[in-house]
Structures are given as C-alpha cells and as structure tokens.
Structure 1
C-alpha cells in the first residue's frame, strides 16, 4: 500500500468515522426523545421527531406506525377540514409503509384502521361506506395478531356503532355499490367491544365516553351516566381529555 492510500485511510479514521459515530448517536437520541414524548402524550413534538427519524431511516417500523397514529390524533384536533384530510392522508401513507415493513404485527393494521376511520368521518356517504369494509378488515387483523389490543377493540366497537347507525343514504350506497356492509353490526356488539378496550386499558377517557354514547343509543341511560362518572374521575393525560370530560359531564346532565 503506497503512502497516498495510507494517508487517505488515516484521514478517514481521523475525520469521517467520528462524524458517522456522532450521527449514529444523534439518531439514537432522537428515537429516545421521540418515544419519551409519545409516552407522555406530547404528540405534536413526538410527531416532528418521528418524521425526522424517517428521513434518516425510511423503514423504521416504530416511527412509521407511531407517526401514522399521531397524524390521526393531531389531525383530529384541527379545525379546517382540508387540513384534517391532509393529516389523515399522511396517516394512511405511513400506515401503508408500516404494513410493507411488517404486515403480521397488530400495530400496522391498527393504525391503518384509525387513519381510515378518521378520514371516513369527514368524507361523503359513498367513501364512508367504502372505507368501512377496509377498516373492518384491518381491525380484524390487528386483533388476530394481538387479541389484547385495547385500541383495536375500541376501533371495532366504533365500527359496530357507526355501521348499525348508518343513515338511509349510507345504507342505500352500501346496498347499491357494495352489496351491503360486511358483518352483523349491533349496538350490543359495539358496547361489548369497547368494554373489552376498557378491560385492557382502563385509563383511556375516550373509551368511556364512546361506551356511554353507545349506552345512550341503547336507551340504557343509567349505565351511560355511571360510565361517564367513572371517566370524569380519571386523571387527564392526553390533550383531548379535558374536552372529553366536559362532554361526559354534559351527557350526565342531559340524562339525569
């Protein structure tokens, strides 16, 4: 090896390798900060970091599914419908990428069902009905891979509730365009599924509120009130919890 090549190797060792190690450590630090923010429900900040991580590691599975979930959650708080749709589309895109990385894990299917469900709520009747079939497929797969997944049970409960209470326009679209809605949805199945979500995660205020709304629809006002009373006693954790507690208090007032 001549002196010139030796000089190049020495230069790489002195200048380049430390930079690579620094970049690696920086990425590790970003992942740790993102996970910490995610777990403490600082969702907008966590989303920014997961996006940064995906710039460096496009196939990082955790960043893909968590990024998708956060796009759905943060987007749901936006006031402008076009902005919401943009966020939900980003959520669907990251969920699709997560499925490409691992389609046998519950999380990739779960976040796809969430993103599609959020987008369906601000779409027209035909698109809502079309989405309901895919939502059901993905939530069923999520529960196939993890039968204790609280979030997936909640989505399944919401699916039953939304489907059984479709408007006549949505039912007509389902029958005409898609041969009906798959599955035998019912309010009781909605209540049972959301109760399972609470069994697996009893600190999520949204689960209690959605269960109370199902009970209200079923005419079981006392159970709806008791469910809301449990919700308002819980500690607020997410940015949505104070509003959800107010909605629970209002439902209690309306039903008593």
Structure 2
C-alpha cells in the first residue's frame, strides 16, 4: 500500500504548485476585471500589467490594457507624456491583434489608440493615420455590429475628417491626393447609433452635439448637451465634458 501511495503523493506535490498558481492567476484576473467594470482605471491597468508579465498573450488583458492606456493618456499633462501612453496603447493593441485579429475588441482598441495619438500629432501624421483608424473601426463593427465604442470612433472619424483645417487638407492633397469621403451627417448618424447601443457615456452626447452644431441643428445640439449634463458621472473626465456641454449651450 505504501508503495502505491508514494507515487501518488509525489504526483500531488508536483501538481499542487501549478494548481495554486492557476488559482492565483484566476483571482488576479477577477480583481482586474472587477476594477475595470467599476471604471477604477489606474488600479485595473496595474493588475492587467501584472497579468501580462506572467501571461503575455492574455487577450483580455491586452485589449483592456490598451484601452486603459488610451483613456488614461488623455488625462496626462503634456504631449510627451500623452504620447508615451498612446504608444503603449498601440503596442498592446498590436499584440492583441496578433492573438486574435478577427475579434471586435482588438480592432476597436487599435482604432482608439491611433485616434488618440492622431489628436496630438501634426497635420501630416494626423492625415496619415486617418485611413488606418477608419479601417480598424470598420473591422470592429464588421466583427460585432453592437460594439458601441466602434460606432463612436467611426462617427468621430467622420467629424474630424469632415472638419479638417486648411493645413490638414493641404497635407492630405499633397500626400494622398485628397481626403477620404466624410461628412457631419454620417458623424451624427454613427454617434447616434453608439448612443442607441450604450446610452451612458457622456462623451458620446458631447460629440453628437458638436456634429449637430456643424449641421446648424442648434436645437438638437442643445437638447443633446442637456441630456449629457443629466447623466451620472461614470469615469474620470465626465465632469469636464459636462462643463464643455454647458459652454457649448452658452455659445449656441
């Protein structure tokens, strides 16, 4: 009997550490996901970074980490610091695409990261990135038409391209022989689609109101801003966007 028990005991001693590590990893993922859902972004990102140290191809940690770097980068002081965050967001998005290029989230977070970086880039870089941003947003929607964030990115893309400055248009004409087709009408349509799918994000309403303003739909712009102001604060930065909505109403 002892002869039988010793191999079993030995196997147990060998397997147990692996089981404990797997359990610890699962608990870490659970805590990270919980913080992510509660919009406690810095703490969630810290845990996702820990997960990636141990499991560099963890898809959930890759795309969520990328998205968090984009969101947190938007609140950093100075363009150099912001660029650091956006470059990290792009790097993690590339890794997520390497793991699964046909998943809506890997494409979505790449469109977000590139879009954020384009906002703080020069005219040439901004125009150069515009086609890739749309490509990834389109793919995200192709793989999941209920991805509200991707619809918002696509709408925001139309808004930005439709309202390029003369310098950016000149860069587009020089480098690419023109600019992609874009319109404020499409911007409003796609951002409204994002709101239909997820009505809780203040940013969606503010961007929709800006599209309405460009379309000379002042009443709709004001009503949209008022809805945004009434929404609960979900993420850091919402209060600032609400203030921008109030300023837009005053301007109109």
TMscore range, shorter length: over 0.9
TM-superposed CA distance for 1:17, in Å, is 3.2
The range that moved more, 244-253 or 222-231, is 244-253
Task: Give the match for residue 135 of structure 2.
Answer: 137
- Which consecutive residues of structure 1, in runs of 5 or more, have no partner in the other structure? none
TM-superposed CA distance for 1:204, in Å, is 0.8
TM-superposed CA distance for 1:205, in Å, is 0.7
Checking the alignment, whether the CA contact within 8 Å between 1:121 and 1:128 is kept in structure 2 is yes
Checking the alignment, whether the CA contact within 8 Å between 1:69 and 1:111 is kept in structure 2 is yes
TM-superposed CA distance for 1:250, in Å, is 1.9
Q: 2:78 aligns with which of 77, 80, 83?
A: 80
- Which consecutive residues of structure 2, in runs of 5 or more, have no partner in the other structure? none
Task: Give the match for residue 186 of structure 2.
Answer: 189
How far apart are the structure 2 equivalents of 1:188 and 1:143? 19
How far apart are the structure 1 equivalents of 2:119 and 2:21? 41
How far apart are the structure 1 equivalents of 2:179 and 2:167? 13
How far apart are the structure 2 equivalents of 1:229 and 1:208? 9
How far apart are the structure 2 equivalents of 1:247 and 1:177? 34
How far apart are the structure 2 equivalents of 1:105 and 1:10? 43
Superposed, 1:124-203 pairs within 5 Å as 124-182=122-180, 184-203=181-200
How far apart are the structure 1 equivalents of 2:141 and 2:230? 29
Task: Give the match for residue 205 of structure 2.
Answer: 208
TM-superposed CA distance for 1:9, in Å, is 8.4
Q: How does the TM-score come out when normalised to structure 2? A: 0.94
Q: 2:241 aligns with which of 241, 244, 248?
A: 244
Matched, 1:42 2:40: yes
The alignment covers a number of residue pairs equal to: 249
How far apart are the structure 2 equivalents of 1:80 and 1:12? 56
How far apart are the structure 2 equivalents of 1:10 and 1:80? 59
Q: Which runs of 4+ in 1 moved over 4 A?
A: 6-12
Q: How big is each residue's C-alpha offset from its partner over 1:192-249, in whole Å with a ceiling of 9 and x where there is no partner?
A: 1100000100111100011111111222111111001111111111112111111112
How far apart are the structure 1 equivalents of 2:97 and 2:55? 16
How far apart are the structure 2 equivalents of 1:180 and 1:9? 72
